[in-house]
């Protein structure tokens, strides 16, 4: 039996939003496997979705630059939130986005080698490190090019979104970009949802049903499960979600009303996929003293 540590329980609680005791039980039932425990909680109706993807554990800024039908976003990371508010860092991030736009860079290696003033983007980042005293990393780039309508949105420099539409208007494209920033849909439309995702959701919904419900005829059972999964699909697909600009309609309704079709969507949020190391100095001292 794997050891169920307090930190493991805490991690599962943050991911699931479920109470500590339920999280501990889930981990015990699944021999300390946090992924299996998360699924166990969902199957038992105690958790709706994994909140891990919402956790942001890095500092920095996302800058957006657009020109005509071309848009680009860059993420530049800093070590602390304090330095990300430094005017020199803010200007550097904007400059990097503009360099990405003008140079046509599509990947980080090309962007870092691109000219910025009298040096390269990479050398400019190193120079900024010497000035401010923190390491900075030009981490990600996302681009969108379209012959149609381009919309962009930046939320406080923490989230950036680019949306390309066929038809519609700039106002609609920006509205969709704002929606994507707020709701962060996993997929654009149902056709984009992987088959294994659908099967897993069906399995979870079936597991949550009572033995009596499971005794219904197979065709009726399939309709019930499919109905529940369809509600989940509405939550995870962009076009199925309630539109944040007008919650009385869905994004699909807004697109139809505006005579538009989504061609491309890109979203960057500061720190996605990075886990910041938090030093527990008390635990470290106890460990070195042989007390832990």
Query: What is the DSSP code (8-state) at residue 187?
Result: B
pLDDT value at position 45?
A: 81
Query: What is the DSSP code (8-state) at residue 286?
Result: H
pLDDT value at position 280?
A: 47
CA distances from 111 to 59, 60, 95, 107, 250 (A): 20, 18, 12, 6, 37
pTM for this predicted structure: 0.71
Degrees, nearest 5: CA angle 53-57-60: 115
pLDDT value at position 145?
A: 97
Task: Encode the chain (292 residues) as per-residue pLDDT tens digits.
Answer: 678 888 888 888 878 888 888 889 999 999 999 888 988 888 888 876 555 444 433 789 999 999 999 999 999 998 888 888 899 999 999 999 999 999 999 999 999 999 999 999 999 999 998 888 888 899 999 999 999 999 999 999 999 999 999 999 999 999 999 999 999 999 999 899 888 888 888 888 878 888 777 788 878 877 887 788 888 888 899 999 999 999 999 999 999 999 999 999 999 999 887 755 444 445 544 444 554 4
Cα–Cα distance measured from residue 164 to residue 259, given in angstroms and rounded to the nearest whole number? 13
What are the residue ranges spanned by the domains of the chain? 1-52, 56-145
By DSSP bridging, strand 149-155 and strand 159-167 are: antiparallel
Cα–Cα distance measured from residue 51 to residue 34, given in angstroms and rounded to the nearest whole number? 13
pLDDT value at position 156?
A: 93
pLDDT value at position 210?
A: 80
Structure tokens at 278: 């938090």
- Superfamily designation of domain 1-52: Ubiquitin-associated (UBA) domain (1.10.8.10)
**Topology classification of domain 56-145:** Tetrahydropterin Synthase; Chain A (3.30.479)
Cα–Cα distance measured from residue 120 to residue 75, given in angstroms and rounded to the nearest whole number? 17
Structure tokens at 271: 């720190």
CA-nearest of 191, 161, 177 to 73 is 161
Give the SS3 label for residue 131. Answer: helix
């Amino acid at each position: 039996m794997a050891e169920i540590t307090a930190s493991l329980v805490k991690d599962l609680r943050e991911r699931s939003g479920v109470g500590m005791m339920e999280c501990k039980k889930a981990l015990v039932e699944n021999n300390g496997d946090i992924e299996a425990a998360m699924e166990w909680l969902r199957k038992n109706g105690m958790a709706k979705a994994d909140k891990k993807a919402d956790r942001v554990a890095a500092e920095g800024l996302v800058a957006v630059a657009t020109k005509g039908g071309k848009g680009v976003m860059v993420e530049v990371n800093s070590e602390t939130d304090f330095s990300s508010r430094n005017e020199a860092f803010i200007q550097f991030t904007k400059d990097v986005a503009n360099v990405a736009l003008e140079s046509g860079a599509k990947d980080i290696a090309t962007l870092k080698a691109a000219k910025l003033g009298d040096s390269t983007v990479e050398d400019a980042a190193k120079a900024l490190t010497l000035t401010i005293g923190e390491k900075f990393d030009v981490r990600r780039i996302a681009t969108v090019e379209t012959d149609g309508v381009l919309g962009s949105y930046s939320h406080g420099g923490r989230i950036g979104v680019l949306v390309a539409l066929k038809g519609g208007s700039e106002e609609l494209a920006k509205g969709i970009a704002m929606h994507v920033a707020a709701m962060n849909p996993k997929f654009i439309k149902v056709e984009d949802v992987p088959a294994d995702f659908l099967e897993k959701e069906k399995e979870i919904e079936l597991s949550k049903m009572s033995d009596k419900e499971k005794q219904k005829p197979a065709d009726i059972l399939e309709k019930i499960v499919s109905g529940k999964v369809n509600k989940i699909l509405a939550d995870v697909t962009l076009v199925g979600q309630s539109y944040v600009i007008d919650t009385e309609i869905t994004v699909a309704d807004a697109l139809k009303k505006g005579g538009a079709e989504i061609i491309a969507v890109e979203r960057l949020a500061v720190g996605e996929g990075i886990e910041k190391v938090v030093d527990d100095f008390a635990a470290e001292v106890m460990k070195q003293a042989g007390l832990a």
